[in-house]
């Protein structure tokens, strides 16, 4: 079967391996402390992404 994805999938990126700016990282660390890593995707910022906040699925 032909594999098909929507146009937007051409530009999909996971947050894996992404290092967000050090200044933002330091600020998030100061706010969240030791809980920070559990709250974010690997490398991702927890204060900057609007993606998919209206997702409905489990």
Question: Which residues lie closer than 8 Å to 35 by C-beta, 6 or more apart?
Answer: none
Closest separation between CB of residue 5 and other proteins, Å? Answer: 7
Contact set with other proteins (CB under 8 A): 2, 4-15, 18-21, 23-24, 27-28, 31-32, 35, 38-39, 41, 45-58
Closest separation between CB of residue 48 and other proteins, Å? Answer: 4
Q: What is the DSSP letter of 48?
A: S
Closest separation between CB of residue 42 and other proteins, Å? Answer: 11
State how far the Cα of 36 lies from the Cα of 46, in Å rounded to an integer.
8
């Amino acid at each position: 079967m032909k594999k098909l994805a929507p146009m937007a999938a051409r530009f999909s990126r996971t947050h894996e391996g992404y290092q967000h700016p050090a200044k933002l990282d330091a600020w998030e660390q100061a706010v969240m402390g030791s809980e920070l890593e559990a709250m974010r995707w690997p490398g991702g910022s927890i204060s900057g992404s609007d993606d998919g906040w209206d997702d409905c699925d489990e």
